[in-house]
Amino acid sequence: MKNKITILIIASMATLIALSGIQAYLVESAYQLKKRAFIQETDNAISDIDNHPELDSLVDVLAEDLRINLGDYKNKRLTKVEVIQKLHAKGDSINIPYMKRYNKELKAIDLGYKIRYKREVSSIVIFNGQEADTIFPIPSQKDGAILGENFENEDSHIIKTSRTFTEFNYVVHENDSIFTNTFDVELKMRDIMKITDWKSIVYRRMATLLICSVLLFLFVVGLFYYSIKTLIKQKKITEIKTDFINNITHELKTPLATLGVASKSLKNKEIRNSEEAFDHTLNIVDRQNTRLQKLIDQVLTNSLSANDIVLSKDTVVDNEYFDDLIADFKLSTQQHQLNIINNVYTEEVLLRIDTFHFTTALFNILENAVKYGNDQTEILIETSLKGNEYKIQITDNGVGIATEDQAQIFDKFYRVSHGNVHNVKGLGLGLYYTSQIVNAHQGKITVQSEIEKGTTFTILIPIN
């Protein structure tokens, strides 16, 4: 049974992890879709800005300056580095009016969030027939930004790439001759934008999905926890019931066996002819019958809940009540090595209790102290008054109760030791009955214990 539950828990956890992984994958896919849709939305919104006539005219100025510089490069008046430097310088000179117009158009669109924009050159290559001469990029020149804001490309997005293939004319001075020559230029450019806090915007747009996913995940985890907890609880209840049946069977076997022997003895002529033997056997039958009746009454009475118990309260003086309680308990146990220390509150306090039920409840605690005590059992009974609450503490020097058992010792049928045979016999109803009696008196009971250091039961009841 234990292995089956372990396998079930492992399988359930594996299923939960798999479902969590699938949910995480779906959320991630939805995030990527939302991200692409948002970037595409922004791209579509600003796509017309690049086609503005004023911006195009400024870009044409930049292209014309590049054509002249490339011609000087072909005439060996400029190096590749100087061509790019002049390109950047020209870009800086027209960047202010360019961005002024760009931001004006961007403001007119009113996106609702801030974006940063730049245009950069990614490649410049000159072709002479089949030969290619790369002007940019080269190891010493890697920065291709020419227009817009200066920012790192991390978390940025390329919104447009362009590739133009143009034929340029340039004047060649060779010896005393002047003539015009041509060359082909491949120019690659790209527009890059960076949306401020784009992740926050995407997450906000996914808020409903994220909240529902989290709530669904928590619900599944809660359902899994509740199911496993219920399963374990049911398993414990089954074990406790099985243990109770075994215990009650064990308790009933002895008087039944004795009754069987006694009843057979009564059929013996010698016993029937002997008045003394006959009376002795009848006394055995009577005692075992009384024992069986007490066992049945214990099961029936101690199974009652606090709401089922009808109290008949009397007014008693605490000092007198505990003196009688201790005297009766000592007489009933007849254990020579038992020491009960009476430390009852010195001033008289009137208690309104059902003396029969309350005494039985306290006897259960005292009997446990003796059952699970050592050879030199010592019990301390202390009482005190605080406000309208009367406090009763019963402390023993017995074996103690493990921490994991303390929360369950007041449960019905629960016993710290399990199995069919116990060194200490019982049905697991005594402390349950005690807690129900205390609850019926509108009080509460708690326990504190350490293994091999003893146990303290604390009862609080109202005195009014």
What confidence tens digit (pLDDT) does each residue in 395-447 have? Answer: 998 888 888 888 888 887 776 654 333 455 555 677 888 898 899 999 999 99
Residue 432 · residue 412 · CB < 8 Å? yes
Query: How large is the average pLDDT for residues 212-229?
Result: 88
Query: How large is the average pLDDT for residues 284-303?
Result: 70
What integer pLDDT is reported at residue 420 of this predicted model? Answer: 37
What integer pLDDT is reported at residue 418 of this predicted model? Answer: 41
pLDDT band of 243, cuts 50, 70, 90: low
What confidence tens digit (pLDDT) does each residue in 36-64 have? Answer: 888 888 888 888 787 788 888 988 899 89
Lowest mean pLDDT among 239-248, 258-267, 297-306: 297-306
Query: How large is the average pLDDT for residues 88-101?
Result: 91
Q: Which residue has the higher pLDDT, 333 or 168?
A: 168
What integer pLDDT is reported at residue 197 of this predicted model? Answer: 84
What confidence tens digit (pLDDT) does each residue in 365-403 have? Answer: 998 888 888 778 899 999 999 889 999 999 998 888 888
pLDDT at 322 over 90: yes
Query: How large is the average pLDDT for residues 279-291?
Result: 78
Domains belonging to the chain, first-starting first, are 47-205 (no CATH), 314-462 (3.30.565.10)
- Give the residues across from 158 on adjacent strands: 192
Global pTM value: 0.49
pLDDT at 97 over 50: yes
